[in-house]
Amino acid sequence: MRPIVIAHRGASGYLPEHTLPAKALAYAMGADYLEQDVVATRDDALVVLHDVYLDRVTDVARHYPDRRRRDGRYYVRDFELRELKTLSVHERSNADGSPVYPGRFSSTDETFRIQTFAEELEFVRSLQAGHGRAVGIYPEIKRPEWHRSEGVDITPRFLGVLADFGYKKRSDPVYVQCFDARELRRIRHELGCRLKLIQLIGEDSWGESSAHYAPLRARRGLERLARTVDGIGPWIRRAYRVARRSGEIHPTGLVQRAHKAGLAVHPYTLRADELPEGFASFDALLTFFVDELVVDGLFTDFPDKVVRFLRRISV
C-alpha cells in the first residue's frame, strides 16, 4: 500500500515550522497528515510548538529579555497565552542566531504567529470544508513527564481537545504520537483512548523522555509495544546501516521486526536539504524507504517532493 505522507511541522522545508501558513501549504501539496507538537503555557493553554522553549523560533528575547531561566532559555511554560500571541515566529535558528537550514525561508518581513492546538484543529477543519480533500492530523504530546514536573498534566487536556473536535474513534484520521512509552500505556489502558497511537523511538541522549529506546527496537520490545500502540516512529538512521567499505545501504531489520509484530512504521524525518549519511539524492532515500523497506508512512519537511515521488512510482 502507498505510504502516508506526514507533513512534519507542516511544509517546514518552505515556511517557518508549525505556523498555519506552513500547514496550509502542506495541505495544498497533498500531504495526508499534518503534524502538531503540543506544549502547555503558564495558564495551561495548549499551543503548537516543537520545543518547550521559545527562543529558537520566536523573537521572545526582544520582547521579554528578563524572562529567561537560569539556563538561558525561554520556556513556553513561563508565559501566558496572551503573551505568546504578541510574539513573531521565524525560521528555526541556532543559539547564535544563524539559521538551522540556511536555504530555507529567510524573509523576516512577514508576521507568523503561535496558535493554540484548538485553533489549529479549527483551521484544519476549515481547510477541508473549503476544498473538500480530507486530511488527517498527527499530534504529538511533548514531554508529558516534564510537564507534570511543571505542574500540569498535559495528556488529558490534549485528549480533551481532540474529543472536542470529534477525534475519538480508532477509524478517525488521527495518530497520537509520543516518545514516552509509559504515557502511551496510560493513554491506552488507563485513559481509555481508542485513537491510533504511535510510539516514537529516539536516542536516549536526546532527553525527550526518561525511556530507554534500545529495548523498544528489539523483537520482544516491539511485541510488547504492539499491546498498546498501532505503530512506531523510528529515527531514519535506525532503519539502515551503511557498510563501511562499500558504502552500501543495508536494512537493520527494525522495519521488518516491527511489521512482524503487527506495527506500522512511520520513520522521521526525510529532508531534501539534509540528506542522511549514505544517500546521494532525495530520490535515492525515498526509493530505499518506500521500495526496499516498504514503510507505512514518512515524516517529511517536503511533502510535495514525497507526494510527487509516490505518484511517479505508481504509474
> Which residues here bind Ca ion, judged by CB under 5 A?
37, 140
Cα–Cα distance measured from residue 101 to residue 86, given in angstroms and rounded to the nearest whole number:
25
CB-wise, 36 or 58, nearer to Ca ion? 36
In whole angstroms, how large is the CA radius of gyration of the chain?
19
DSSP string, 244-289: TTT--EEE-SHHHHHHHTT-EE--B-B-TTSPPTT-SSHHHHHHII
Cα–Cα distance measured from residue 211 to residue 140, given in angstroms and rounded to the nearest whole number:
16
Least separation in angstroms between residue 37's CB and Ca ion is 4
CB-wise, 140 or 183, nearer to Ca ion? 140
Task: Tell me, yes or no, if 212 is annotated catalytic.
Answer: no
Cα–Cα distance measured from residue 147 to residue 145, given in angstroms and rounded to the nearest whole number:
5
Q: Beta partners for 293?
A: none
> What are the counts of helices (DSSP H) followed by strands (DSSP E) for the chain?
12, 11
Least separation in angstroms between residue 49's CB and Ca ion is 10
Least separation in angstroms between residue 35's CB and Ca ion is 6
Q: Beta partners for 268?
A: 235
Q: Which of 18, 50, 147, 266 is catalytic?
A: 50
Least separation in angstroms between residue 9's CB and Ca ion is 7
Task: Tell me, yes or no, if 147 is annotated catalytic.
Answer: no
CB-wise, 37 or 304, nearer to Ca ion? 37
Q: Which of 8, 18, 90, 266 is catalytic?
A: 8
Question: What is the DSSP pairing of strand 33-40 with strand 136-141?
Answer: parallel
Least separation in angstroms between residue 233's CB and Ca ion is 8
CB-wise, 37 or 78, nearer to Ca ion? 37
**Among the listed residues 264, 304, 303, 305, the one whose alpha carbon sits nearest the alpha carbon of residue 8:** 303
Residue facing Ca ion at closest CB distance: 140
CB-wise, 48 or 60, nearer to Ca ion? 48
Cite the active site residues. 8, 50
